[in-house]
Structure 1
């Protein structure tokens, strides 16, 4: 099984002025040997190296609001999805194109189905 890594453009939603609202590069990572049920989301400059998100939760959240613990996911219109991460320091809200998340999830399921080398 191989690690799947994909970069995606996203908007980190904050109180910053609109001119600071530029897309950022977020890394999506799936390592089936480390944790076959979860994916990791790496936000740039967020003070948190990576968030862990259950793959099923991410998939459910692309079509209807879903949440568990510190993570919430919901569709935002027809082409975007929002991931919300809660910590004691506050909330990070990240908006992705649904296409990018769907493509990444497909790759994770394909990687999980790869035969184990002997």
Structure 2
């Protein structure tokens, strides 16, 4: 069984223009980092012209399908019928994108088949991670 899940999603960038442009994005989940998901945007879809990747808690994405959550760099909330809003806050500014909630649910279902919610801690090898952190010290 694969330890990595990647799912392309269609994101719509919220801007001042009346029609939101569609941009490609990919949701990622890796069993080796079971508490986190990543959302990446390719260089042509970003203002800086470089690939951009945001990492945040999987639980934030799960909860954001039902209610407004997040107080930091990433915030998630439902919007209307079958839309989820993700806000990405950085010193350079804020990006707000809409994605289809059905795509997010499908992605999350795949992650939960790989690592069920509440059992993420079973995927973490604290002894190994601590040894990696301590390597080269002393």
Name the counterpart of 1:26.
Answer: 25
In structure 2, stretches of 5+ residues that fail to align are 117-122, 124-138
Larger Rg: 2
In structure 1, stretches of 5+ residues that fail to align are none
Higher relative contact order (CA 8 A, sep 6+): 1
Alignment TM-score, normalising by the size of structure 2: 0.74
The answer to which structure has the higher helix fraction is 2
Alignment TM-score, normalising by the size of structure 1: 0.85
The answer to which structure has the higher strand fraction is 1
Deviations 1:64-116 (A, max 9, x none): 10004211100001210100010000001010010000000010111225xx9
Q: How many residue pairs get matched?
A: 111
Name the counterpart of 2:133.
Answer: none
Give the CA RMSD over aligned residues: 1.8
